[in-house]
Amino acid sequence: MPHPDVTAETLVETAYAKVNVALHVRARRDDGYHALESLFVFAEQGDALTGVATDDGAIDLVVDGRFGGGLDAGPGNLVVRAARALQSYLGEQRGAAIHLTKALPVASGIGGGSADAAATLRLLTRLWDVRIEAEELAGLALDLGSDVPACVASVTQLVTGRGEHLARHAVTGLEGRPMLLVNPGVAVSTAAVFAGWDRVDRGALDASSFEALATARNDLEAAAIAAAPVIAEVLAALRACGGVSLARMSGSGATCFALFDEEAAMSDAADAIRSSQPGWWIMETRVRRA
């Protein structure tokens, strides 16, 4: 939904929530990153960004929204970093006034900051009306974070390496499927969860079909539950709902998701969890189509 301050000169982008349908951790690389195999999908909703081009070269950011209160809008924010990186790469003299309405929980395993950075890159290429090759944009994105390249396109993708190898990957019956996201209100450190991974390689990811994905894993789940035991409660609540075809933790947590065959079953599940856990964050959505 456009921000209420939208004017004729303002452009709008959505930073779509990212969900790891499966996440297999294979090894720690020589460069310190982990070799991952993951299927990324995206929700139809996310954070909202609006932007207006300015002539002074400044990048000004205002953050609000349900989860905006704890975020710094200064140079360390991924939105500002993405804007500055693109500006520097292009030699762009113009700046931008950007407004981020933060609807996604922070440090929650659904790529909020990465999605914001990717949406900023999309927003500013339109706002400044500039041409940049997809490979160049992907390089800028990877410098900002491992999940950012996949978030630029925000379509279903098989992601390997540390996030630099992307392949559009359609799975029959996945796109458009009702999806419920639930976060218990705890922030989990990605670095701490990776540090807690048991370093056991449990094998490659098979994403050839929806049935194969049901037998896949999130290898960070145990470490995340050790850090935040409430994640196990979220998973149990989701798996107890009727009509669930798959429930799992996303990323390094604490957000978990459930995929449903029918929208009505998802709505019933959302109502039941809201009733029993009024403090949990819940998003009713669908897997975004290309």
Q: 203-238 pLDDT, tens per residue?
A: 999 999 999 999 999 999 999 999 999 999 999 999
Mean pLDDT of the residues in the chain? 94
d(CA 152, CA 107): 19
Q: Residue type at 244?
A: V
To the query of whether residue 271 is one of the catalytic residues in this protein, the response is: no
Give me the mean pLDDT over the 41-67 stretch: 97
Tell me the pLDDT tens digit for each residue of 90-143. 999 999 999 999 999 999 999 999 999 999 999 999 999 999 999 999 999 999
User: What pLDDT shows up at residue 32?
Assistant: 75
DSSP code, position 229: T
CB 70 within 8 A of CB 77: no
Residue 52's SS3 state is strand
CA 27 to CA 48: how far, in whole Å? 35
φ, ψ of residue 53 to 5 degrees: the values are -70, 145
DSSP 171-187: -TTTTT-EEEEEE-S--
Which CATH class name applies to 178-286? alpha beta
| pLDDT confidence bin for 6, thresholds 50/70/90 | very low
Q: Domain spans of the chain? A: 11-168, 178-286
User: How confident is the model at residue 28, as a pLDDT?
Assistant: 76
Fold type of domain 11-168: Ribosomal Protein S5; domain 2 (3.30.230)
From the candidates 47, 102, 116, 147, give the one annotated as an active-site residue.
147
The pLDDT-based confidence of 5 (bands split at 50, 70, 90) is: very low
pLDDT digits (tens, 9 = 90+) for 140-172: 999 999 999 999 999 999 999 988 899 999 999
Instruction: Report residue 3's pLDDT band, with 50, 70 and 90 as the boundaries.
Output: very low
Alpha helix (H) ranges present in the chain? Answer: 78-90, 112-127, 134-144, 148-153, 190-196, 210-214, 221-227, 230-239, 263-276
* Sheet with 256-260, side-by-side order of all strands: 244-249, 256-260, 178-183, 281-286
> 18, 47, 102, 116: which one is catalytic?
18
For the whole model, what pTM was predicted? 0.94
Active site annotation includes 60: no
